[in-house]
Amino acid sequence: MEGQQVTVKIWDGVNKKNRRNYGTLGTQNELRLRAELILLKHRKLLSLPYLVNVIGYCHENEHFSVVYDLKPLNSMHNLLLNDTFTWSKRIKAALGLAYLLKFLHTPDPPNEKYLVCNIAAPHIMLDQEYNPKLFDFGMFRGGIFSNWWYNYPSKNDECFGYADPATIGGGISAQQVYLFYCVCIYL
pLDDT band at 79 (very low <50, low <70, confident <90, very high): very high
Of residues 112 and 132, the one with the higher pLDDT is 132
Coil, strand, or helix at residue 159?
coil
pLDDT, tens digit (0-9, with 9 covering 90-100), for 117-155: 667 788 889 999 999 988 777 667 666 666 554 444 444
pTM, whole model, 2 decimals?
0.72
Q: What is the mean pLDDT of residues 17-25?
A: 43
Q: What is the pLDDT of residue 157?
A: 41
In the chain the first and final C-alpha atoms are separated, in Å, by 34
pLDDT, tens digit (0-9, with 9 covering 90-100), for 92-101: 999 998 888 8
Of residues 96 and 164, the one with the higher pLDDT is 96
pLDDT value at 74 more than 80: yes
Q: How many residues does the chain have?
A: 187
Domains of the chain: 7-186 (1.10.510.10)
Q: What is the mean pLDDT of residues 73-79?
A: 90
pLDDT, the chain, mean: 74
pLDDT value at 112 more than 60: yes
pLDDT band at 50 (very low <50, low <70, confident <90, very high): confident
Q: Which of 121, 129, 130 is nearest to 78 (CA)?
A: 121
In 77-131, the DSSP E strands lie at 114-116, 124-127
From CA 177, how far away is CA 138, in angstroms rounded? 20
